[in-house]
Structure formats: structure tokens, C-alpha cells
Chain A
Amino acid sequence: MSNTIAAGAWLLDLGVGIHVAVGERELQYLLPDLPKFTTIPNAPSYCCKAFVWQGDIIPVVDIAQLILGQEITRLEQEELIVLAIFQSNDNTLIQRGALFISAIPSKIYVQDQQTCDFPPPQALWQQLSSSCFNHSEIGAVPILNLEKIFLTTATSLWSKQGVESFAS
């Protein structure tokens, strides 16, 4: 019998064949309906929408669009929003952000032995994720680093990554 401990996580289907995971305590709420979005001018197209939730303004990131570098068209019934919570390194207040997903999240358990390399584009996934594991059916699944995604400016992401790989 193995002594390895499995960590709980949520598997998120982003559509267009892209899956990611977040920690089991990082997912707060699956919105039953699409909220009323406000488009923020001059924000990156993968993160230009925000909505109001319980007196807070929540930015929405479309990770699939960020990875593919093009707008993602989802069927209405396949467009869902999950609310995620995260904390910055300096242990300040818990903050919220939202992600576009295409299916209801499923609970999974991940073990250290499942660690694997990031899928392409590797450099970009490294920017957005803390690690990656191999799912028996899906393959490599990056585990999102929500702090990096929501607390890093688009400019910083681009300058670290280099524009070429994004545009390809």
C-alpha cells in the first residue's frame, strides 16, 4: 500500500481541448448564470470583462484565449464562470478572480508521482502555473497559479514571456 498523499483539486475544462486545475480550496463558487459584464477599455482581450459580485468587482480571465492567442467562441450552454479565491505572497486579504470554463468542474486527487512537464506552449504555462500533472485520460494538466494570473499585469506577462511565442 502506497504512503503517498493525494491532494484534492478541481479539474477545469476550458473548452477547445484545454484543461487546467486549481487547488480544492481555491474554487469558491460556480455562477448559475452569466453575470452582467462590464468591458474595461484597453484591457487585454483575454481579461477585459469584469462583473459585480457581493459588492466586489471581479475580473474574468479567459485562460484558453490567453494560451491560444485568439478569441474563443463557446456555445452559450458551454460558457460558465467560476469564482476563484487566492492570497498574495504577503498574506494580505483574500482576493477573488473569475475564470471562463466550458463544463462543470470535477473533483480530482493528484499525487506527486503524477508530476510532468508542461504542455505547449511551455514557457507560457510556466508563467501561469505552479506545476503540472499527468491525468490518465487528458494528459498534462497545468495547475494554475491564481496569484500570478490575477496579480500580474499583462505587460509583465508579455515582457517575461516574449511576444513571439504568444503570437505563434
Chain B
Amino acid sequence: MIGLSLDANANADAEFNSFYVVMTIDNLNLVVPQTHVYALEPILDVSYSDNNFIGHIQVETIVCPVYVLSANLTSVTSISQNRRICVLLHTASPISGVSIEDFFVMPAISDTLDRLPPNLFGLLCDQVVLTEWTQQIKVFPLPACMRTPQTRLRGLILHNDNILCITTAQDLLDCCTTSYLKLPIL
């Protein structure tokens, strides 16, 4: 496997609430904890199929589905030329039902990363930045008027005058695999 593998064991003593991955999809900047990312792969390693996911990628002995999302976090089956990186995400970390506060003190999951994590899936992105925010970051709740049943954001971050959207691997997997009922005005 080529590409950058993120070894959580190496960061076992680090503060897990300061390491993030910023994934860009068109004009959308998504933030997930680095603990939700297993590896980064070049898009060339993705094999394509005509299933409900756009293709798959082999990670050691496992074949993982690969999805494409639009900037509105809806699953699409066509691939923009801007998508150049396949982010391998996993949902093994205890992320369901966490509050924004909990999100930033995510426990270490080095034990689960000693082996290949379950629920591994690929998401095609335009750009991926691995970042460590050393300064205190201010998390804004998503404004109430912007929330819908389809909302998969845990909050917003203001960083260098850019608005970043906080989400999780599980939320992104939900976006990839769920067909939402649309309200008429949406």
C-alpha cells in the first residue's frame, strides 16, 4: 500500500484533541479528527465499479467501498476532476452521540488501530491537510436556522477567516450511504 499511513500509536501520548484532518470537497472544508482517518491513498489506486459506491480500494486483505460526495454532502456517482485523493476513514472510534465538547476530547483509539479497523471506507477529496492546531480553537454551534434532519455537522470552526465544518467518519458514511427525503423547498 502506498500513500501516507497515519499511525495512531505514534501519537499515543499526544493530545488527540489537537490533531485534525481538513478535507476539501469543492468549496467545502470538512474537519475530522485524525483518529478517524486510517490512511490517504492516491486516486489512481481506486478501482471503479457501477455499484451504489463508485468503486473500491484494496487495503491489505480488505476491499473497501469508495464514495464520492458533493459539496452538499450528497452521494454522487460521477467524479469531478478535482478529486485527487482517497481518504480512508473508519468508524471504529466511539463517536456516536457525542457532543461538541466531547468531540474535542476524543479518547485515544490506538488499540483499535493495532489491527485493520472495521467499517473502513474511502472518500474522494480534492485536497487533504493534516493539521495540528496548537492555539485554542473556537467552535461555533451550527446556527439553528441551518439545521435540518439531513444535517451531519457537529459545529463550525473559524480558521484564518475560513469556515470549516466539523464532522465525523460516521456522519460522512451516513451521507455516503443514505438517500434522504428532501423537503420541497430544499
Contact = CB atoms under 8 A, between A and B. Distances in A.
Contacts of A39: 27-28, 71-72
Interface in B143-167: 143-153, 156, 158, 161-163, 165
A45 B145 contact: no
B184 A44 contact: no
A48 B145 CA distance: 9
B158 A57 contact: yes
Interface stretch (A2-10, A15-23, A108-116, A147-155): A147-155
Contacts of A100: none
Contact of A38 (B27, B74, B150, B185): B27
A167 B185 CA distance: 7
B163 A52 contact: yes
Contact of A52 (B161, B180, B183, B185): B161
A120 interface: no
A153 B147 CA distance: 5
A41 B148 contact: no
A45 B152 CA distance: 16
Contact of B147 (A55, A69, A155): A155
A51 B153 CA distance: 17
B185 A151 contact: no
Given A41-B72, A42-B72, A150 B144 contact: yes
Contact of A42 (B73, B140, B158, B161): B73
> What interface size band does chain B fall in?
20 to 34
A167 B184 CA distance: 6
A40 interface: yes
B95 interface: no
Contacts of A163: 183-184
B75 to A, nearest CB: 12
27 contacts: A36-B161, A38-B27, A38-B162, A38-B163, A40-B156, A40-B165, A41-B71, A42-B74, A42-B148, A42-B150, A42-B180, A43-B148, A44-B183, A50-B143, A50-B146, A50-B156, A55-B158, A56-B140, A59-B146, A69-B184, A97-B145, A150-B145, A154-B146, A154-B147, A154-B148, A155-B147, A167-B184
Interface of A: 36, 38-48, 50-52, 55-57, 59, 61, 66, 69, 97, 149-155, 158, 163, 166-167
Given A50-B143, A56-B140, 6 more contacts: A40-B153, A41-B28, A42-B148, A47-B143, A57-B163, A69-B185
